[in-house]
Structure 1
Amino acid sequence: MPRLMIVKTGDSFADVVRDHGDFEDFFLTALAPMAEADDELTLTVHDARTEGVPPLPAAEDGVLITGSHAMVSEAEPWSEALKPWLVEARARGVAMLGVCYGHQLMAAAFGGESGYHPGGREVGTRRLRLTTAGRADPLLGTLPTAFPAQLTHSQSVLTAPPGAEVLADNGHDPFQALRYGPRQWSVQFHPEFSAEVMRAYLAHQHEVLAAQGEEPEALLAAVAPTPEAGGLLARFAEQLARTPTLA
């Protein structure tokens, strides 16, 4: 039975935690059906900020890296300590999916660059596009060529690591999804976010979005469920449970 470790890298806003749960809870909720069906998957949570670097998973296991309100470019010690761990896990063949902060951290660990996006924040339900590589990808290739996703970030992957495949982009960010190897992916968007959580994030960011020339009320009105993007987590877990190759 494969194990899927959720590596927690931050906490959500207090009101979001109160009303909807914390980052790891979003993933646990999305993956619960897989964990409960015929004991196909074991889920664990490891907080890298307080528990240190996790034990290295076995080659047949998987890792999910959550979002965070921290910034990869601030190079906090707990975050920097994860970089060589990620490199070793990739060399071992461990399946990985990084989300938002996890996306930026994986890219930085594998030789790319992450930092503040010159265009400012990207928040709300936005439309993304699969690249040619994305349409052929065993994980993201199940998505429509153009699909909506929930986004909230001020930092991005600025330079992709050598050899990484770009799987999705949009007008704001050319690196919305990357693949680093047969079993290693990361995405800037939040497949774990519900529309309600996205609205809560927009409420927190109203002033900063207005200051950068966005229309917060229009963004709020445009928030919608994103079941296609949300299905990415189940797809990752299903493949992990069925085969150790994911390809």
Structure 2
Amino acid sequence: MPGGRLTQQERQQIAVGLADGLAYAEIARLLGRPTSTITREVSRNGGPTGYRAELAHRATQQRTHRRRQATPRGAQASPQPYGRDPEVVRDYQETLTTVFMTSGLPKMMARVLGCLYTTDTGSLTASELAQRLQVSPASVSKAITFLAGLDLIRRERDERRRERYVVDDDLWYQSVIRSARSNDQLAEAARQGARVLGPGTPAAVRLENVARFQDFITENLIRAAEQAREVLYAGTGTISDGAAAPSSDHGHDMI
């Protein structure tokens, strides 16, 4: 059923779809499942060329068994906020982690980000992250440093002077601006190459087209990010009072 665990028959259909060269999104539509479910299922069970339905089903059963053995009975039965099913939340967190990994994040960084986004507060301390993820504090520290460097999380102190790691709406804006800056660097490199190779030459024209394309994408990316920030997040209170949204004229200098 959609939203529940994949059945053995569904896994067989995934294997057939992969063998037929279908995209994850098309397999998901055939099964009535989110694309992220198929992405996670395939990536954790051998990838598109190594996926085997029987092995994937057996591996999932073994993981579930190990997880239940590792989780104390009391913790498993503890009530969740808003009446949530802890097993369903845990499965969704794994799905979100896989999506982050597919987008390019290393596994531990994706796990930390997935954990933060599935908390109502949107913030946790290093010890809370280590406990929830069952990993060492050193692993958490390394992941935090990496994510903070990409502006995907921010650090702040709580009333007890503990450092907390926070995700909120404005961080997506910061991430887009950072991406736009990367586009700027590529455009400048392309213009430099056009000068080196000689204006009007085929290679120079190709690089000039790259620069123009990146300029266009960057300008529209920043404009869209600023509009989304103003329209979507204006009333949420997640944007800090001191962080005024930059105009598109100087948006590249934010990071």
What TM-score does the superposition give when structure 2 sets the normalisation length? 0.28
Q: Which has the higher helix share?
A: 2
What TM-score does the superposition give when structure 1 sets the normalisation length? 0.29
Larger Rg: 2
